[in-house]
Amino acid sequence: MKFYLVILFTFISSILCFSQQDSQYTQYMYNTTLINPAYAGSREVLSAFILHRNQWMGLEGAPVTNNFSINSPIGDSNFGIGLNFVNDKIGPVSENEISVDLAYFIQISENYKFSIGLKGTANLFDLDVNKLRIFDPSDPQFQNVKTEFSPNIGAGAYLFSDKTYFGLSVPNFFESYRYNDNNIEISKQKLHLYFIAGHVFKISDNIDFKPALLSKIVEGAPIQADVTGNFLFFDKLTLGAAYRWNAAVSALAGFQISDSWFIGYGYDLETTKLANYNSGSHEIFLRYELFNKTKISSPRFF
C-alpha cells in the first residue's frame, strides 16, 4: 500500500511541477511586476502590495503562496525600481524567491509610454524529505538533501497609456534545476513567456469596464490563457469575473478604502476533475500607495 501511495504522490508532484512552476495568481493585474519588470514605477507612485493565496482548499499539500512587493518611480528620472518576495509551498517543497526590478520609461507619443525592464532573481528551493512517504529510507537519492540556490535574470517590455496596455516578458531566461542532488533531477524550472493586454472602457461617469488578457507559454504544457472582466463603480467598488482556459472560473471583488488603501479578494472554482477533491482557491491582497502631494495624481484602473 505504501508503495502505491509513493507512486501516486510522485505522479501528482510531477503534474504540479510541470503545469504550475511559477506561482499562480488570479489578481495578477494588481501586481504586474511579478511577471513583467517593465511595470515597476509605471503607476508613478510608491506602491506596496501584500497577498496571500490558498489554492485547492481541502487538498492535502496544495499550494500556499505569500507575496510582498514594492515598486516606485525613482524621483523625477525615467527609471522605476521594484522589489518582490515570494514564498511558495507545495507539499514537501518550499521555495523562497526574491527579485529586483529596474525599468526605464520612454514617452513615445502624447498618450503612450514604452518601458523596458530587467529582473534579477535569487531562488532558494527546499525539499523536506521528512514529509515524504519513502518506500526505501536507504535510497541514496533521499540522502544528504540540501537547500538549492539558483540565480536568474529576466526582461520585459510594456506599452501603455491611461486606458490601454500591452506587455511581453520572460521573468527567468535560464532553465535551472530546483533539485539536482546525487545526479537525480527532480524538478527543472522552465522558461515562461507572458503576454498581457487590457483596455478601460468608459461606460458612464461612474462606471468603467476593463477586459484583460494574460497568456502564458511554457515548454511541455498547453498554452494558458486568463480572460478577466472588471467593473469599477464610482472609483470605489470593483466587481469582476475571470476564466482560466480549461482550468477555473473566478469571482473578483475589490474596494478602495481611501486614496491610499485598496483591498481585494478572489475565489477560484476548478472546472477540471480536480474540483472533486477541493473546495476552491482563495486569494486576498492589500495595496498601499503613497501619493506625491505636490502634484495631482489619479490612480489608474491597472
Three-state secondary structure string covering the chain: CHHHHHHHHHHHHHHHHHHCCCCCCCCHHHCHHHCCHHHCCCCCCEEEEEEEEECCCCCCCCCEEEEEEEEEECCCCCEEEEEEEEEEEECCEEEEEEEEEEEEEEECCCCCEEEEEEEEEEEEEEECHHHCCCCCCCCHHHCCCCCEEEEEEEEEEEEECCCEEEEEEECCCCCEEEECHHHCCCEEECCEEEEEEEECEEEECCEEEEEEEEEEEECCCCCEEEEEEEEEECCCEEEEEEEECCCEEEEEEEEECCCCEEEEEEEEEECCHHHHHCCCEEEEEEEEEECCCCCCCCCCCC
CB under 8 Å to 91, separation ≥6 — which residues?
A: 9, 13, 16, 61, 131
11 torsion bin: left (phi>0), alpha (psi -120 to 50), beta (else): alpha
Asked if residue 113 belongs to a domain, the reply is yes
Q: Which three cell numbers stand for residue 238?
A: 470593483
Q: Calculate mean pLDDT across residues 9-27.
A: 54
pLDDT given at position 177: 63
Residue 66 lies in a domain: yes
Tell me the pLDDT tens digit for each residue of 152-182.
999 999 999 999 999 999 999 987 665 555 4
CA-CA distance, 164 to 201, in Å (whole number)?
9
In a domain, 298, yes or no: no
pTM for the predicted model, two decimal places: 0.84
pLDDT tens-digit profile of 229-284?
Answer: 999 999 999 999 999 998 899 999 999 999 999 999 999 999 988 888 899 999 99
At residue 8, the pLDDT reads: 36
Give a yes or no: residue 17 inside a domain: yes
Residue 205 buriedness (CB in 10 A; 0-12 / 13-18 / 19+): exposed
CA 96/CA 78 separation, integer angstroms: 30
Q: Rounded to the nearest 5°, which phi and psi values hold at 221? A: -140, 150
The domain tally of the chain equals: 1
Give a yes or no: residue 137 inside a domain: no
Cβ-based neighbours of 9, under 8 Å, separated by 6 or more: 91, 132, 133
Q: For residues 146 and 287, what is the distance between their CA atoms, to the nearest angstrom?
A: 35
Pair type for strands 237-244 and 187-189: unpaired
Cβ count within 10 A of residue 289: 19
Residues 6 or more apart whose CB falls under 8 angstroms from that of 137 comprise: none
In this structure, is residue 297 part of a structural domain?
no
C-beta atoms surrounding 157 within 10 Å? 16
User: What CA–CA distance (Å, rounded) separates 137 from 291?
Assistant: 57
Is 98 a member of any domain?
A: yes
Q: Is 139 inside any structural domain? A: no
- Provide, rounded to the nearest whole percent, the portion of the chain with pLDDT above 90: 61
Q: What is the pLDDT of residue 17?
A: 39
pLDDT at 16 over 70: no
Range of the domain at 50: 2-131+144-290
Residue 1 pLDDT grade (very low, low, confident, very high; cuts 50, 70, 90): very low
Judge whether residue 20 has pLDDT over 60. Answer: no
CATH classification of the domain holding 77: 2.40.160.40
